[in-house]
């Protein structure tokens, strides 16, 4: 029997953990990035685009819960034997850029960057291997005034894209305070930082799960461990009761005001020089923000903020959306974090051998878009389809293209139907799929009279969606317009619809 030599067709499937973005999503993202970029620019930050590919050596090992430099990233060995990888965030490439070009850059260097990043992690619901980030960083400023400025700018960005005040909070902590607590609790030895590394890792992850597990769950992870609903046991840090109480006091130190929180933290880290320095920095940040009008309704001192990446050395911050959404199972829950960042004074030092202070924030664009969609604030972007010029006579294609050209020169989005169907109904179905507000019709009879027919597709869509016919009975679904008045009529119609 002859073998079947028909080539195997590839499967048309998206790789696991990745997704495709279509017109409305791309448009909404571009609009959001432009809004955020405008805020960054207003604060004096300049744009920077770095390569999507870095050497594994330059990226370093900073992803949480991984053991090898190229684990957690998409890496491959180049022909010259160098290991390369797709960037996992936009901060590690910034450190390389600053070290490489520092003699030509101003100090401090203030840059923002936007683009996709890739992480070779297990995908899950809402967790993808490729996602967009939108960062702003200040390199070369040791003052915590730079951290306070980042927090203020983050609050401004959220409001600029449509997250109302009261629907978010920026929470601020300091890794130095956390290190001071670890020192007091006996799981950090300043003379030998390598001791208790495993225990500290478990403590950090436990604190970061406070919102999900609650105080009892965190307390269990600080001790012998925790058994979840499925029966699986997560190993704990093995802290004694007295040690665990120090950490729990830190987690629950947030008071009714920034001053009250700072006072509690100061008492907790008494005896640790590092911890006291961190508390002083938090107090300074709170004072600087208050002087600019950023109160506790927008930015708060919150000891429960940890941040997962290992390169943070000082203040850390996180933007959390406080409104509720309904999950796939109909359960109500808070939306959660959409941005985070902090100070990372050691990152550039890997290249230069000299400590270079730096601080920055990263906004999760996909998460923020999902939040706006949940709040119903993306409808305007999704409805912006083009005006469709229907083709009644293929020999008159030049006339139809002329109409589209006139509309485009007037700043109106327009296209001529270029499909194969000659049936007018199919052309209107195409316009509906494109979410077009209008269809322009000019057959031989209309051309002879110097007019065009303009069909209101928005009205048809509203009636099809269940709008009352009585409500729209006085509104015509089709208009006859002089050909010479086409552009003005369409412009006025669209202005009225907006």
How many whole angstroms separate alpha carbon 116 and alpha carbon 86? 10
**Least confident range of 78-82, 159-163, 166-170, 361-365:** 78-82
Tell me how far CA of residue 60 lies from CA of 66, 79, 115, 224, 460, in angstroms.
Answer: 12, 21, 20, 32, 57
- pTM here is 0.82
**Least confident range of 192-196, 315-319, 454-458, 460-464:** 460-464
How many whole angstroms separate alpha carbon 201 and alpha carbon 191? 18
Averaged pLDDT for residues 249-256: 85
Query: Could you please report the per-residue DSSP string of 332-369?
Result: EEEEEEEEEEEE-TTTTHHHHSS---EEEEEEEHHHHH
pLDDT per residue over 168-182, tens digit each? 999 999 999 988 988
How many whole angstroms separate alpha carbon 232 and alpha carbon 209? 17
Tell me how far CA of residue 206 lies from CA of 235, 249, 304, 423, in angstroms.
Answer: 11, 14, 10, 64
How many whole angstroms separate alpha carbon 181 and alpha carbon 308? 17
- Give the position of tokens 């300091």: 174
To which H or E segment does residue 111 belong? strand 109-118
How many whole angstroms separate alpha carbon 301 and alpha carbon 148? 12
Query: Could you please report the per-residue DSSP string of 2-34?
Result: ----PPPPPP--PPTT-----HHHHHHHHHHHH
> Taking Cα atoms as reference points, which of 147, 94, 140, 149 lies closest to residue 117?
94
The pLDDT value recorded for residue 237 is 85
Listed in sequence order, the residues at least 6 apart from 11 whose beta carbon sits closer than 8 Å to its beta carbon are: none
pLDDT per residue over 39-60, tens digit each? 999 999 999 999 999 998 898 8
pLDDT per residue over 14-28, tens digit each? 999 999 998 888 988
- pLDDT of 80 > 60? The answer is yes
Query: How far is the first Cα of the chain from the last one, in angstroms, to the nearest whole number?
Result: 67
The pLDDT value recorded for residue 39 is 97
Listed in sequence order, the residues at least 6 apart from 246 whose beta carbon sits closer than 8 Å to its beta carbon are: 181, 184, 185, 268
452 strand-pairing partners: 481
- In the chain the domains, ranked by start, together with CATH numbers, are 23-379 (3.30.930.10), 385-497 (3.40.50.800)
Predicted confidence band at 147 (pLDDT cuts at 50, 70, 90)? very high
- pLDDT of 476 > 60? The answer is yes
Predicted confidence band at 436 (pLDDT cuts at 50, 70, 90)? very high
How many whole angstroms separate alpha carbon 183 and alpha carbon 167? 36
- Give the position of tokens 């965030």: 89
What is the b/e burial string over 1-29, where b = at least 16 CB atoms within 10 angstroms of the residue's CB? eeeeeeeeeeeeeeeebeeeeeebbeebb
Contact present, 155 and 143 (Cβ < 8 Å): no
Dihedral pair phi/psi, residue 351, rounded to 5° = -95, -35
The pairing of strands 168-174 and 75-77 is unpaired
**Least confident range of 190-199, 383-392, 395-404:** 190-199
Residue 295, helix vs strand vs coil = coil
Predicted confidence band at 310 (pLDDT cuts at 50, 70, 90)? low
How many whole angstroms separate alpha carbon 451 and alpha carbon 443? 10
The pLDDT value recorded for residue 416 is 97
Predicted confidence band at 3 (pLDDT cuts at 50, 70, 90)? low
Dihedral pair phi/psi, residue 412, rounded to 5° = -100, 130
Predicted confidence band at 471 (pLDDT cuts at 50, 70, 90)? low
Distance of CA 334 to the CA centre of its chain: 17
Is pLDDT larger for residue 429 or for residue 470? Answer: 429
- The angle that helices 273-291 and 175-185 make with each other, rounded to 10 degrees, is 150
How many whole angstroms separate alpha carbon 320 and alpha carbon 170? 6
């Amino acid at each position: 029997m002859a073998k079947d030599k028909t080539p195997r067709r590839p499967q048309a499937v998206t790789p696991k953990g990745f997704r495709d973005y279509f017109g409305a999503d791309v448009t909404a993202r571009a609009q959001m990035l432009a809004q955020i970029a405008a805020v960054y620019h207003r604060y004096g930050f300049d744009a920077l685009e770095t390569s999507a590919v870095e050497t594994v050596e330059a990226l370093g090992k900073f992803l949480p819960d991984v053991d090898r430099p190229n684990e957690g990233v998409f890496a491959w060995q180049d022909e010259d034997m160098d290991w390369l990888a797709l960037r996992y965030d936009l901060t590690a490439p910034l450190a390389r850029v600053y070290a490489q070009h520092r003699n030509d850059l101003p100090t401090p260097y203030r840059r923002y960057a936007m683009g996709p990043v890739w992480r070779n992690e297990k995908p899950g619901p809402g967790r993808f291997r490729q996602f967009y980030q939108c960062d702003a960083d200040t390199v070369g400023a040791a003052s915590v005034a730079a951290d306070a400025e980042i927090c203020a700018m983050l609050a401004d960005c959220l409001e600029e894209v449509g997250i109302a005040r009261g629907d978010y909070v920026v929470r601020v902590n300091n890794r130095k305070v956390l290190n001071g607590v670890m020192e007091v609790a006996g799981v950090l030895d300043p003379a030998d930082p390598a001791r208790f590394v495993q225990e500290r890792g478990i403590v950090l992850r436990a604190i970061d799960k406070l919102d999900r597990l609650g105080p009892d769950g965190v307390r269990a992870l600080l001790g012998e461990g925790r058994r979840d609903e499925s029966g699986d046991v997560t190993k704990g840090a093995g802290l004694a009761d007295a040690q665990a109480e120090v950490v729990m006091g830190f987690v629950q130190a947030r008071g009714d005001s920034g001053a009250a929180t700072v006072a509690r933290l100061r008492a907790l880290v008494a005896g640790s020089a590092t911890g006291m320095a961190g508390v002083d920095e938090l107090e300074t940040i709170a004072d600087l923000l208050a002087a600019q009008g950023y109160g506790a309704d927008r930015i708060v001192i919150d000891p429960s903020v940890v941040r997962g990446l290992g390169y943070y050395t000082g203040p850390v911050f996180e933007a959390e959306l406080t409104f509720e959404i309904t999950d796939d199972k109909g359960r109500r829950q808070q939306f959660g974090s959409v941005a985070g960042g902090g100070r990372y004074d050691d990152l550039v030092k890997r290249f230069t051998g000299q400590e270079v202070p730096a601080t920055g924030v990263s906004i999760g664009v996909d998460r923020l878009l999902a939040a706006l969609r949940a709040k119903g604030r993306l409808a305007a972007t999704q409805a912006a389809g083009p005006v469709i010029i229907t083709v009644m006579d293929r020999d008159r294609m030049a006339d139809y293209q002329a109409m589209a050209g006139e509309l485009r020169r007037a700043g109106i989005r327009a296209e001529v139907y270029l499909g194969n169907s000659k049936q007018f109904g199919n052309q209107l179905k195409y316009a509906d799929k494109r979410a077009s507000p209008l269809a322009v019709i000019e057959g031989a009879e209309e051309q002879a009279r110097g007019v065009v027919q303009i069909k209101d597709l928005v009205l048809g869509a509203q009636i099809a969606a269940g709008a009352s016919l009585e409500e729209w009975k006085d509104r015509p679904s089709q208009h006859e317009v002089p050909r010479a008045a086409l552009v003005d009529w369409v412009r006025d119609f669209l202005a009225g619809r907006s």
